[in-house]
Amino acid sequence: MSMQNVLITGASRGVGKSTALAFASRGFRVFLNCKSSLADLAEVKKEIQDTCGAPCHLVPGDAGDPQAIRQIFKEIREICGGIDILINNAGISHIGLLMDMTDAQWDGILSANLSSVFYCCREAIPYMVSRHSGRIINISSMWGSAGASCEAAYSATKAGVDGLTKALAKELAPSGIPVNAIALGVIDTRMNAQLSSEEREALCQEIPAGRFGTPEEAAELIYQTALSPLYLTGQIIRMDGGFL
């Protein structure tokens, strides 16, 4: 089988970084994207080259900017023709009362968490359809279905990712392209670093598993989903330690 090409947005740290390492360690060519943490992204590439030896390319840019995504996919096509596996992981959080959110904050989280998925899928799909092959995995959250107090905008964007996943799966099933989402629970990443030790402990007590998940666990589920049977599509696969 020819080398498979994977694009991971938001790959500079956390789940995105661990996912990049999971695929690269199995011999996949990985394209790493992020918007601003370029030094961290370069470190991920170096780690892949030092430990995995797999082909690795940096394609920085704002995944929520359609022009940036068009340019990124242009570069990818010049290197390998197109993407076989798209992992939409880019995203940001916002904690605060909805009534206190500014227009710019609302627009920013919609762009980063939901529009980015649309723009990347739109660019990736033609190549996949032409080959009747490909995989799309969108990284969602348990809050997309449950809703989180003081994270209404974040919850709304993840609910949107879930709806987009289900609808797109129906569009692409005739072409043999599964589309699934991974709805993660509380993962021990920098996104949750703002929590105090008391808040972390209280949250752990609410999780039946008694702890936060790790980026490596999330990455392994993402990898296994990419290899799952074609008949698995349109699913929101939740990994939350039994929280919901």
C-alpha angle 140-238-92 in degrees, rounded to nearest 5: 20
- Cβ-contact 216, 181 below 8 angstroms: no
Residue 154 bears catalytic tag: yes
With a CB cutoff of 8 Å and minimum separation 6, the contacts of 70 are: 123
- Cβ-contact 166, 123 below 8 angstroms: no
Among residues 119, 127, 154, 223, the one annotated as catalytic is 154
- Cβ-contact 186, 213 below 8 angstroms: yes
The single-letter DSSP state of residue 37 is -
Q: How far is CA 135 from CA 32, 81, 138, 171, 225, in A?
A: 17, 16, 10, 13, 9
- Which residues are catalytic, by number? 154
